[in-house]
Amino acid sequence: MPPHWETRVWLDFSEIGSNNSLSTPHVYALPFGVTAGSHKLTIRVDNRMIVDVGFDAHSVTDHTQGNWRRIIRICKEHGLNLIRFHSWCPPEAAFIAADELGFYYQVECGMWVRRAGSLLGRGKSNDKWLYDESERIVQAYGNHPSFTMLVHGNEPSADLNFLAGWVKYWKEHDSRQLYSSATGWAMTEENQFHATLAVPGRDQMRVRGIGGWNGKDYREAHQGARVPIISHEIGQFTAYPDFGQISKYTGWLKPRNFEIFRDSLDEHGMLDQNRAFVMASGHLQTLCYKEEIEAALRTPGLGGYELLDLHDFPGQGTALIGVPDAFWDAKGYVTPEQYRRFAGPTVPLARLVKRTWTTDETLTVDVEISHFGAVPLKNSAATWRLAAADGKVAATGEFPRRDIPLGNASSLGRITIDVSKLAAPVEYRLVVRLENTPFGNGWIVWLYPAKIDLMAPRELFVASRFDDQARTRCFSRNRRRSGRSGWWPCRAAAKGRLPRSPSCP
């Protein structure tokens, strides 16, 4: 990693030069004519904020960094093909690892300027530094195949004309990368792609979020885009902290946030349920990511999506939004293979408008496929099946063979199932597979009887409020069962074992 931040070098008593790059090595050449013999080399590192790039830009914080080959492998195992470096640029080793493993990078020039007094385009020192830093980045890493996109930084407050000029400059000077003004917003007409929440001018319609769930997509928000759209920081679904991770922090960094959460759970007498909370919240988190990613893949023409992070992000407070933990280790509730089924290069997709059906309906689902493999697929066969939770197959079928092009939301066909004679209430799983490939995907649906007997059993007393009649029935039933007076739930509430009801005597 380059120093953070400015370095100055002297040979004997003569200054050789200085460097303030955050992204590239600080390289100095000894002056011509240095005589043989003993000399004194002095290096000074100044870690102050030399240029206002934003107080929480990841180029100057300890939130990121690292030479995360293992990390690229984990990302690929989960089906991803790109890492976006939020307001920073990785070192040479990261580019070499990505080149070797076949991975893409979106690099940013170390800036996250949001304060009004530091806005870009106002003639301050950060204006020139952006040009200088991007020049250094492109010069140092521009020939790496993994270096595909360059952005000024994250979610800025800036003069759009200034950022447009920066993009225009790089489009004219170097065609090896694609360029965009910023990630998140501040989109300009000069951009070669947008990594954003919405198409400029359509801010009320997002290319992420629940608007595309339940079989829908983001095509309405995507319409009108002149360049590829990448949805920005999607997901952000959290899972409960696993306090077993605390023992992993063996160095100077300490998980004080986890300790606070752990102590709180212990005070409430539920520390023994920590793992159960992790698994339950993790399964819900995975289902939310699955729904969000599939909505993006169902959107025709969408250029891609960027997660806020695949793993837990240890910076900026607590962001437990990953399926691996902060150490890039699996948490145990979803495997990379399972995640890749809905996030990989080739993903079958179902436009399920709902997950709960009744036996007087016909289960109808339009099925598509998103394919971003090396080449289109020729004469491909896809099959489907509906199976109960115990594995018993209730219905099967196959789609007509067809060629599958590169891109999103290519139709495979429609599934129509008469469920009137199927067992209910039962949880079923709808699975679509591309034959003779590793690609498949599945969705849970529930089937219920169309009509059920709502008459309460004779021994069951149903009340809509806790009135005198309900109180009498509870009292009488408790007295018959226990041989003592009093209504047990209220007595338990008084002892703190149950929440107290306003109606408790």
pLDDT of residue 466: 85
Q: Which residue has the higher pLDDT, 315 or 431?
A: 431
pLDDT, position 479: 52
Token duo for residue 223: 């319409």
Residue 86 within any structural domain of the chain: yes
Range 14-37 average pLDDT: 87
Structural domain includes residue 365 = yes
Provide mean pLDDT across the span 400-426.
95
Verify that 96 and 210 share a domain, yes or no: yes
Identify whether residues 305 and 392 lie together within a single domain: no
Identify any residues that bridge with 432 across adjacent strands, giving them in sequence order: 384, 441
- Do both 438 and 467 map to the same domain? no
Report percent pLDDT > 90 for the chain.
67
pLDDT-derived band at 497 (thresholds 50, 70, 90) equals: very low
CA distance linking residue 144 with residue 150, whole number of Å: 13
Which amino acid makes up residue 465?
R
Q: How far apart are CA 67 and CA 90, in angstroms?
A: 8
Residue 459: per-residue pLDDT: 80
Q: State the pLDDT at residue 363.
A: 96
pLDDT digits (tens, 9 = 90+) for 290-344: 999 999 999 999 999 999 999 998 877 789 999 999 999 999 999 999 999 999 9
Mean pLDDT in residue range 265-275 = 96
- Give DSSP secondary structure letters for 98-138: HHHHT-EEEEEEEE---SGGG-BTSSSHHHHHHHHHHHHHH
Give the model confidence (pLDDT) of 201-226 as tens digits.
Answer: 666 678 999 999 999 999 988 877 88
More confident residue, 500 or 84: 84
User: Does 61 map to a domain?
Assistant: no
Q: Kindly report, residue by residue over 105-146, the tens digit of the pLDDT.
A: 999 999 998 876 678 888 889 999 999 999 999 999 999 999
Average pLDDT over residues 430-447: 97
This model's pTM is above 0.75:
yes
Number of domains within the chain: 4
pLDDT for the residue numbered 463? 85
Nearest to 156 by CA among 190, 192, 134, 185: 185
Q: Do both 168 and 296 map to the same domain?
A: yes
3-class SS string, 294-362: HHHHCCCCCCEEEECCCCCECCCCCECCCCECCCCCECCCCCHHHHHHHHCCEEEEEECCCCEEECCCE
Range of 468's domain?
460-505
d(CA 239, CA 429): 24
Higher-pLDDT residue of 431 and 465 is 431
Print burial letters for 197-210: b (CB count within 10 Å at least 16), e (below 16).
Answer: bbbbebeebbbbbe
**Residues 169 and 305 grouped into a single domain:** yes
Q: Is residue 208 part of a domain?
A: yes
